[in-house]
Amino acid sequence: LIPLLKGVPPPSLVGHGKMKGTPEIPPTQSVEKRPAKELFLTLPGTNDRMPQVGLGMCCRPTAYDDVLAQRTVAWFLLLGGRHIDGAHLYLNHEAIGRGIREAMARGGVPRDEIFITTKVFPSHFGYNTTLNTV
């Protein structure tokens, strides 16, 4: 529904990998360094440091085609990004996960450096329900 409001048909209507956008990652692409002056937020309770700048996975054509969403996430991580924001409503959690796995396999992006934030419907609140949703 959200992509249609912006005039972008979702892949469920146009087909997997049919949209144009994020290019394939060349086999020679390696992991680049994280930004030199990267800004962080300290998370209460754990004191973990989460990057303030992240990749939002909504509201552009490449976010709604599962092939392009996977490539976008993998590119972002290989180029030094480490924070990805999604939502259950965007219907691209699986593609985000594939992009993370691809970046980890291709270039050794450490999983413990990646932060994923998401939003769920109120009807999916609760630890077990949320876990099953995402």
- pLDDT of 3 higher than 60: no
81-104 residue pLDDT tens: 999 999 888 888 899 999 999 999
Average pLDDT in the 102-128 region? 90
20-34 residue pLDDT tens: 889 999 999 999 999
The predicted structure's pLDDT at residue 82: 97
39-63 residue pLDDT tens: 999 999 999 999 999 999 988 877 8
Q: How far is CA 64 from the centre of its chain?
A: 11
Given the residues 90, 96, 98, 102, the one annotated as active site: 90
Task: Give percent above pLDDT 70 in the chain.
Answer: 89
H runs (alpha helix) in the chain: 2-5, 11-14, 61-64, 66-78, 93-107, 127-133
User: How large is the angle between the packed helices 93-107 and 66-78, nearest 10 degrees?
Assistant: 40
Cβ-Cβ contacts under 8 Å for 93 (sequence gap 6 or more): 86, 118, 134
Is 90 annotated as catalytic?
A: yes
Identify residue 41 by its one-letter amino acid code. Answer: L
